[in-house]
Amino acid sequence: MRAAIIGGGAAGLFAACALARAGLQVTIYEKQDRVGRKLLATGNGRCNLTNLNAAPGHYRGDPRFVGAALRVLPPKGAMERFAELGVLCVSDDEGRVYPASNQAAGVLDALRLRAVELGCEIITGFQVAKLFRRGRSLRICSEGGRTAAADFAVLATGGLAAPKLGGCGDGYVLLEALGHKIAPRLPAIAPVRTDPAAVRGLKGIRMRGVVELLCGREKLRREVGEILFGDGTVSGIAAMQLARPLNLALRENKRCVLRLNFLPGEGPEMIDRLAELLPERMMEDFLSGLTPKRLGQALVKAAGVGKLTKKASELSAEERRAIYDRLTGWTLPASGTLGFDQAQVTCGGAELSGFDPDTLESKLTPNLFAVGEVLDVDGDCGGYNLHWAWASAELAAREILRRAIK
């Protein structure tokens, strides 16, 4: 039996290994000149393989689909599978799992080499332009006119995130041609745009804190973690997690803001005590023991207490409270996010109603399966999206093998 894998990324390589290990004839069709380029960038080059806390609650999409995939391949199962490929995995205090080498290249090599060892054929520079069923076979046609046939096909083309590394909309086009509906696609896990003037001079400043996304009186999401300032942006894991709900809210023309708390749990008496201890301290250095210096200066300016040469002893009670309010509740406009070129994952994709939740098979084209980011499923930052790639590929592969090996 022949299986075609369309897309040589994380999900495609994982599915190929699962199918070839059981004896199927597998061919991977990849549009780029090599497979797995996006995988090399995951986890800042360290490859955050999975998360020990992976559960449907960490994903957006129909929980039936996510739950079915996690049941066939939970986090421990993914770690065992990679151990079989020679990749030892280690986890951190927050459940994020990485290869012991801390090298994404090692993960890609493990998948690619194992696929070759199992007899998979890898054809690069093959951009699939058309996919259709003829008789009992699925036909695959390239833009250049090359054709191929398979008994089963796994569509693993990914989403729109990171176009320089291969993110594209090819899979959506192929599925639409077959009658599938595609949900609107938006950047998820991406830096949030804000007023450039408000964060001018803060580029590169990092601090752990709480970030909330507010639309009017509604709190859409709250995250705790690293906050990183850029050119007119707020990022870091905590802020980037807000990209999905922000983009969805902006589609409905809602006005949103970020509220940043750099010292959660502290009361206003902290600032009163600091002013008493350091009466001669000027505002330019007043918060330097609490935040990075440039951030402290920005917060003091935002509090409207006057010049940075002003001394702590000169602060009124109202001014001290204003500084505290900015330190624990600095509000910045959230005007959008950076685009797909800076996003880690795609929100939206092929609507799940067109697929079987227990197998990921198309309801419109028998023996065609879709896995990974091409589907309308996206997870939190921290290894959840790569785990969806592995788990969805495993789910589809198991159904293919059930039918192929009788």
Q: What is the mean pLDDT of residues 370-390?
A: 97
**pLDDT band, residue 49 (cuts 50/70/90):** very high
Two tokens, residue 96 = 């994020």
Residue 315 three-state SS: coil
Domains of the chain: 2-186+348-404 (3.50.50.60), 192-337 (no CATH)
Buried/exposed 75-114: b ≥16 CB within 10 Å, e otherwise = bebbbebbeeeebebebeeeebbbbeeebbebbbebbbeb
pLDDT score, position 184: 96
pLDDT score, position 217: 87
CA distances from 11 to 7, 63, 86 (A): 8, 19, 18
Closest by alpha carbon to 41, among 397, 344, 401? 344
Two tokens, residue 318 = 């109202």
> What does DSSP assign to residue 344?
S
Determine the Cα–Cα distance for residues 49 and 267; give it in Å rounded to an integer.
39
- What mean pLDDT value characterizes the chain? 96
pLDDT in tens, 230-246: 999 999 999 999 999 99
Query: Do residues 68 and 387 make contact, with C-beta atoms less than 8 angstroms apart?
Result: no
**pLDDT band, residue 346 (cuts 50/70/90):** very high
For residue 307, is pLDDT > 70?
yes
For residue 93, is pLDDT > 70?
yes
**pLDDT band, residue 87 (cuts 50/70/90):** very high
**pLDDT band, residue 42 (cuts 50/70/90):** confident
* 7, HSE (Cβ side, Cα atoms, 13 Å): 32
**pLDDT band, residue 299 (cuts 50/70/90):** very high
pLDDT in tens, 162-174: 998 888 899 999 9
Q: Strands of 336-337's sheet, edge to edge? A: 330-334, 256-261, 206-215, 218-229, 233-235, 192-193, 336-337
- 318 residue type, one letter: E
pLDDT in tens, 200-213: 999 999 999 999 99
Query: Do residues 384 and 59 make contact, with C-beta atoms less than 8 angstroms apart?
Result: yes
Residue 262 phi, psi dihedral angles, 5° rounding? -90, -15
**pLDDT band, residue 181 (cuts 50/70/90):** very high
**pLDDT band, residue 405 (cuts 50/70/90):** confident
What is the sign of the dihedral through the CA atoms of 33, 38, 39 and 45?
Answer: positive
Residue 72 three-state SS: helix
pLDDT in tens, 254-267: 999 999 999 998 99
For residue 406, is pLDDT > 70?
no
- 181 residue type, one letter: K
> What does DSSP assign to residue 351?
-
Mapped to the 3 state alphabet, what secondary structure does 147-197 carry? Answer: EEEECEEEECCCCCCCHHHCCCCHHHHHHHHCCCCEEEEEEECCCEECCCC
For residue 372, is pLDDT > 90?
yes
